[in-house]
Amino acid sequence: MILSGWVQRVRDKGGMIWIDLRDRYGITQLIFDEGKTEKQIIKTARSLGREFVILASGKVMERYAKNDKIPTGDIEIEVTRLEILNESKTPPFIIEDETDGGEDLRMKYRYLDLRRNPVRKSLELRHKMLQETRKYLDNQQFMEVETPYLIKSTPEGARDFIVPSRVNQGQFYALPQSPQTFKQLLMVSGIDRYFQIVRCFRDEDLRADRQPEFTQIDCEMSFIQIEDILNTFEGLVKHLLKEVIGYELTEIKQMSYDDAMKYYGSDKPDTRFDMRFTELNEVAKGKGFNVFDQAELIVGICASGCANYSRKQIDALTEYIKRPQIGAKGLVYVKCNEDGSYKSSVDKFYSQEDLANWAKNMNATKGDLLLILSGEKDVTRNALSELRLKLGDDLKLKNRTEFKALWVLDFPLLEWNEDTGRYHAMHHPFTSPKHEDLGKLESDPGTVKANAYDMVINGVEVGGGSIRIHSRELQQQMFKILGFSENEAQKQFGFLMDAFEYGAPPHGGIAFGFDRLSALLGGSDSIRDYIAFPKNNSGRDVMIDSPSEISKDQLDELGISLK
Q: Does 469 bind ligand ASP (CB under 6 A)?
A: no
In the complex, the smallest distance separating the C-beta of residue 91 from ligand ASP, rounded to whole angstroms, is: 39
- Residue 318 touching ligand ASP (CB under 6 A): no
Three-state SS letters, 436-486 = HHCCHHHHCHHHCEECEEEEEECCEEEEEEEEECCCHHHHHHHHHHCCCCH
Separation between Cα atoms, residue 96 and residue 118, nearest integer Å: 9
Q: Please report whether residue 180 would count as binding ligand ASP according to CB under 6 A.
A: yes
Alpha-carbon distance of 80 to 285, in angstroms, equals: 85
Q: How is residue 400 annotated by DSSP?
A: T
Report the C-alpha gap between 154 and 179 in whole angstroms.
12
Q: Does 509 bind ligand ASP (CB under 6 A)?
A: yes
H-state helical runs in 210-256: 226-245
Helix or strand or coil: residue 123? helix
Stretch that binds ligand ASP, among 248-256, 474-482, 487-495, 508-516 (CB under 6 A): 508-516
Neighbouring residues of 379: CB distance < 8 A, sequence distance ≥ 6 = 327, 328
466 scored as a contact of ligand ASP (CB under 6 A): yes
178 is an interface residue for ligand ASP by CB under 6 A: yes
User: Applying CB under 6 A, which part among 9-17, 188-196, 317-325, 458-466 lies near ligand ASP?
Assistant: 458-466
Among 176, 269, 412, 464, binds ligand ASP (CB under 6 A): 464
Number of shown-chain residues binding ligand ASP (CB under 6 A): 8
**Beta carbon of residue 373, minimum distance to ligand ASP (angstroms, whole number):** 31
CB under 8 Å to 43, separation ≥6 — which residues? none
> Binding marks (x or -) toward ligand ASP, 184..203, rule CB under 6 A?
--------------------
**Residue 467 binds ligand ASP (CB under 6 A):** no
The C-alpha angle with vertex 386 and arms to 385 and 388, in degrees rounded to 5, equals: 65
Please enumerate in sequence order all residues whose Cβ is within 8 A of that of 398, keeping only pairs 6 or more positions apart, or say none.
270, 272, 273, 392, 458, 459
Contact predicate 327/297, CB 8 Å: no
At closest approach, how far in Å is the CB of 467 from ligand ASP? 10
When the beta carbons of 217 and 405 are compared against ligand ASP, the nearer one is 217
* Integer Cα distance of 302 and 329 in angstroms: 19
Our CB check for ligand ASP shows the closer of 101 and 176 to be: 176
According to the binding rule CB under 6 A, does residue 510 interact with ligand ASP? yes
What length is written for the chain?
Answer: 563
How many C-beta atoms surround the C-beta of residue 265 within 10 A? 26
Instruction: Between 115 and 427, name the residue whose CB sits nearer to ligand ASP.
Output: 427
Is 297 near ligand ASP (CB under 6 A)?
A: no
Biggest CA pair distance of the chain: 93
Q: Identify which of residues 209 and 541 has a Cβ nearer to ligand ASP in the complex.
A: 209
Residue 465 within binding range of ligand ASP, rule CB under 6 A? yes
Asked if 433 interacts with ligand ASP (CB under 6 A), we say no
How far apart CA 332 and CA 344 sit, in angstroms, is: 7
Between 58 and 509, CB nearer to ligand ASP: 509
Per CB under 6 A, does 511 bind ligand ASP?
Answer: yes
- Which residues sit at the interface with ligand ASP, rule CB under 6 A? 178, 180, 464-466, 509-511
